[in-house]
Structure 1
Amino acid sequence: MYKLIIFLFIALPFGVFAQTVTTGTVFDYNKKSVTLPGVSVRNLNNKKATSTTREGKYTIPANVGDLLEFSAVGYHTDTLYLTSLLNRSIYLPVKSTNLQDVDIRAVRMNSQITDAKDPLAEKYTLLSTGGNLGRKRMTDKVGGLNLNLGYGKYKRQQRKEAELDEREMYQEEIDANFSEKAVADLTKLQGEELKNFMIIYRPSVEAVKAERPYRYSYYISRAFVAWQKLTPEQKKLQDLPKLKAN
């Protein structure tokens, strides 16, 4: 009994240190060299949370496939899909809600003609940067300025990069598990037949992504049964049709 208790006390620290973590640094998106302290970092999968240090660095428990959320006052909230646990640099864009200063110049007016219109003045107009550059006349003096900061494009680009990283991760998994050695060990195929089988029955990223964890051995066995039912011609890769000369 005492030996068991001692073993548990010894094994506990190793279990703690074995927990996987990911690290990184958070920067200002516009000022790339400026780090951001006090940024809230949350793992949306395991619900763990932390904040960046004075140097903008963070460490949080995580695994590949987790989704991290970064938020700070005055900055847009951002998310990161973990394709690896390597050190990452995160850039948060500022929430730009302030308008630029307006330079107002005085106009000398004749005190006896208070109703005269300022020849340099214009009617209030509504300016928009969103595609239509034509100026629309307003019926009152209450207007606004529609700002398009390009943040939507930035988010779309970020999502596209995350999707490409995710797809590359699945392709690497397929390469490792649907290899020539793995297929040959199960099917005993060799040479040209082995290559044709792997090209015809290679699992798609969508299929592997839909079933987690993906059972590669089971899939290869089922594919080999279907392969045996093919005719010799069907087992050969068809040549591309030749282009006709002009």
Structure 2
Amino acid sequence: MSPIPFDKNMGAADSHGTSSPTKVSNESLQKFLTTKARAEAGSAVAQRELAEMYGRCIPVNINPRRFLQSIDAITALSKSPANAEGMKRVARVTADECASVDNGAIIPLEAHDLWLQQAAKQGDLAAQAQVFMRPGKRPQGDELRKFMDQVVASNDPTAMFEMGQLVEGNPSGDGAGRYSSVAGDTLTGYAWSIVACQRGLDCGAGSPIMNSVCLNTGGCSSPDFESFVRDYIVTTGDAALLNSKIQEVGSLLPNSN
């Protein structure tokens, strides 16, 4: 799951529990224009963020009303009022934001792909990890070890989180050198992502990551990513192993201070 970039305050609700379209749209428009200008000026981080904006809004901008109607249909079946209300709120924020992305126009897939590739080419490690997750691109063995070396040396929480997504899809970490025990399987992937949150990535409610979790899984009531993983993903029997993996990943990274 690639993180979806939202500002933490963009999902603020009014007294009726719905976002303020005018405020969110103004903030979203400014964010989009600023990000696009920085991307066009050559910022690799902005290029990745722009790609993520496009990626998020591709399905929404095809038919925003239908997108919101589909969310209404999903939440109508929910057994959790908190999750249902949270999903509606995030969906409204998403639709408002996407209305500001290229003026709400339908977005070609190439817009996402080309900006992401450019960000990866210019050295953005999070973008490189996202590219690696595509079919036929996943690194193994020494190639994976070298990439993990770069992520560890960068001490970049965003890259660490994406490393978690990459590792999660690996059947094993064989051949990854000193990373072999933390380079494969789902639980280890979550450990990388949780460490990224502990290292400063915004993983709280209303963050890019949690809004993505909400729309993709329906889990919209957790206070943060780690709580979501522990409450909904990891079994009680695996909790100790997750703790061990988190500690092991943390020991490989530079001191956060």
Shorter-chain TM-score bucket reads under 0.3
Q: Which has the larger radius of gyration?
A: 1
Higher relative contact order (CA 8 A, sep 6+): 2
**Which protein is richer in strand relative to its size?**
1
Q: TM-score, normalised by structure 2?
A: 0.19
**Which protein is richer in helix relative to its size?**
2
